[in-house]
């Protein structure tokens, strides 16, 4: 297994993007919450705004607009703690 430091810059970028996508999905499903209560309120408001705009398929963009920097920081921390397969290509299942 490889660590974060063993990954190329492209692999690191893809790993963070994958975790952001997974975290957004879990947030929207209610499986996890934002660690900061203020961010959680902003997250909930973004979901409401997406619903009010009749564009629930854009909820991820609404969320990233208001708390994206914090979600990215969390995803980067998760990615740095993860282990990755030995192959040069990260395969997501």
| pLDDT per residue as tens digits for the range 45-76 | 999 999 999 988 899 999 999 999 999 999 99
Is 35 a member of any domain? Answer: yes
- Residue 28 has what pLDDT? 93
- DSSP-assigned letters across all residues of 30-88: TSS--SSHHHHHHHHHHHHHHHHTT-GGGHHHHHHHHHHHHHHHHHHHHHHH--B-SSS
Q: What is the pLDDT of residue 32?
A: 95
Among the listed ranges 47-51, 60-64, 78-82, 84-88, which one has the minimum average pLDDT value? 84-88
The domain tally of the chain equals: 1
At 4-23, the pLDDT tens digits run 999 999 999 999 999 999 99
Q: Is 87 among the domain residues?
A: no
Which residue range(s) make up the domain with 53?
Answer: 4-81
Which residues make Cβ contacts (< 8 Å) with residue 83, sequence separation at least 6?
A: 1, 2, 3
pLDDT score of 92: 58
Euclidean distance between CA atoms 75 and 59, whole angstroms? 18
Report the Cα 22 to chain-centroid distance in Å.
Answer: 6
């Amino acid at each position: 297994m490889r660590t974060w430091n063993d990954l190329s810059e492209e692999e690191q970028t893809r790993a963070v993007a994958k975790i952001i996508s997974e975290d957004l999905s879990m947030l929207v499903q209610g499986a996890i919450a934002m660690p900061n209560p203020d961010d959680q309120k902003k997250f909930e408001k973004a979901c409401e705004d997406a619903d009010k705009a009749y564009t629930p398929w854009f909820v991820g963009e609404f969320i990233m607009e208001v708390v994206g920097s914090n979600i990215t920081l969390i995803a980067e921390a998760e990615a740095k703690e993860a282990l990755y397969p030995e192959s040069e290509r990260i395969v997501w299942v």
